Amino acid sequence: MLNTYVVYVENKPGVLTRVASLFRRRAFNIDSLTVGRTEKPEVSRMTITVDADHDQARRIEANLYKLVNVLLVENITTEPAIVRDLAMIKVAATHEARSHVLELASVFRARVVDVAPDSLTIEITGGEDKIDGLLEVLRPYGVLEMVRTGIVAMRRGKSSAPVSTTNNTDHDVAEEDVSHSV
């Protein structure tokens, strides 16, 4: 099954390589990996989806923790979470097709972000299913170009354990942050 991890890492050069290399080395297939800034400049946040069974999923978590720059790993696969993907889709839209495409975009609550004489570019945000759905109905008009960011995810309700990289020289990470049983 697809597992979704939220991974907090130190914002340092080479950390993305370390994470990506880990998946390659242990022969786990990344389905999607996104990385970006967080509310703390010294921390980056990754959302990683991987196809793995239960045991593999636990070992992925344990292996991620072996990377010195990894601060926190959460497997949110079975937790209530907001999961979003963003796509930009350039659709062939000649004069007569244009209104149909606009209508479809509006049904999917997508936005038109660029209009050219023979094409429209639509931006859509949502779960992967929603984007797949829009893509499917647009295909007959001719999808000229598409880009997707891959998913970002956030647990609903309570916040993830805060992570600080300052004043933590004694490695005194709170006990509840430590994954004991694997």
Partner 1 sequence: MENKTSMTGASILWECLEREGVKTVFGYPGGAILPAYDALKGSKIHHILVRHEQGATHMADGYARASGKVGVAVATSGPGATNMVTGIATAMLDSSPIVCITGQVGSKLIGSDAFQETDITGVTLPITKHNYLVTHASEVARTIREAFYVARSGRPGPVLVDITKDAQQTTCDFDWEAAKPQLPGYRPDLSPERKEYEQALELIRNSKRPVILAGHGIIISGAMAEVREFAEKAGIPVALTLLGLGAFPASHPLNLGMMGMHGEAWVNHTIQEADLLLAFGMRFDDRVTGNLKTYASNAKKIHIEIDPAEINKNVKVDVPLVGDLREVLHQLLPHVETIDRSEWLDSIDQLKGDAAVRDIQNLPDSGHLYAAHVINDLWRETRDGETVVVTDVGQHQMWEAQYYKHEKARSLITSGGLGTMGFALPAAIGAKVARPEAEVWVVAGDGGFQMTLCELATIVQEKLKVNIAIINNGFLGMVRQWQEFFYERNYAATPLLNPDFAKLGEAYGIRSMTVTERSQVVPSVQAARQHDGPVLINFRVEQEDTVYPMVAAGASLHEMIRRPSKIVETADDE
| Interface contacts to partner 1, rule CB under 8 A | 9-10, 13-14, 17-18, 21, 25, 55, 58-59, 62-63, 65-72, 163-165, 168-169, 171, 173, 178-182
Q: Which is nearer to partner 1, 92 or 173 (CB)?
A: 173
The answer to whether the beta carbons of residues 54 and 2 sit under 8 Å apart is: no
Smallest gap from Cβ 55 to partner 1, in A, equals 5
The DSSP bridge pattern shows strands 30-37 and 70-75 to be unpaired
The DSSP bridge pattern shows strands 43-51 and 111-116 to be unpaired
Q: Which is nearer to partner 1, 13 or 41 (CB)?
A: 13
Q: Which is nearer to partner 1, 58 or 155 (CB)?
A: 58
- 171: alpha, beta or left, given left = phi > 0 and alpha = psi -120 to 50? left
Smallest gap from Cβ 62 to partner 1, in A, equals 4
Smallest gap from Cβ 3 to partner 1, in A, equals 16
Smallest gap from Cβ 169 to partner 1, in A, equals 4
Q: Which is nearer to partner 1, 72 or 87 (CB)?
A: 72
Amino acid, single-letter form, for residue 49: T
3-state secondary structure of 60: helix
Amino acid, single-letter form, for residue 59: R
Instruction: Give the C-alpha distances (Å, rounded to integers) separating 38 from 10, 19, 62, 116.
Output: 11, 18, 23, 35
Going by C-alpha positions, the residue among 145, 148, 138, 6 that lies closest to residue 85 is: 148
SS3 sequence, 121-134? EEEEEECHHHHHHH
Smallest gap from Cβ 164 to partner 1, in A, equals 7
Q: Which is nearer to partner 1, 66 or 156 (CB)?
A: 66
